[in-house]
Amino acid sequence: MDDEGTTRTWLVERTYDDKGLISLVYATTDGEAVRRIERAPIAVERSGGVTAAVDVDASALTPVEEASLRERYATEARRMAEEHDPDETV
């Protein structure tokens, strides 16, 4: 967490639902918490795309209960952090 009460999270999952929405999951590098975001494709397009990371208010994070999911999210978040700048479109 940084001084402003936000936590940097990294994109770990992108899926499309049956309504055509894009579901994004951003996780902390330890995989302990996530922020889920749903966007219409047009909103993603207008905003310039999906970034590798977002800074999230700590109160908006949800704990990840399942150990295997925490591990998967941690691995992917660390990989994204190593390979991408936070504002990079992915």
Within a domain: 1:
no
Domain housing 76: 6-83
| pLDDT tens per residue across span 39-80 | 998 888 888 889 999 999 999 999 999 999 999 999 999 999
Average pLDDT over the chain reads 92
Work out the end-to-end distance of the chain between its first and last CA atoms, rounded to an integer number of angstroms: 23
Q: What is the DSSP letter of 59?
A: G
| pLDDT tens per residue across span 13-28 | 999 988 889 999 999 9
Q: What is the rounded average pLDDT of the residues 35-41? A: 92
Within a domain: 53:
yes
Residue 1 has pLDDT above 80, yes or no: no
Residue with tokens 């991408």: 84
Whole-number pLDDT of residue 78: 98
Within a domain: 27:
yes
Domains of the chain: total: 1
Q: What is the rounded average pLDDT of the residues 30-35? A: 97
Residue 2 has pLDDT above 90, yes or no: no
Within a domain: 68:
yes
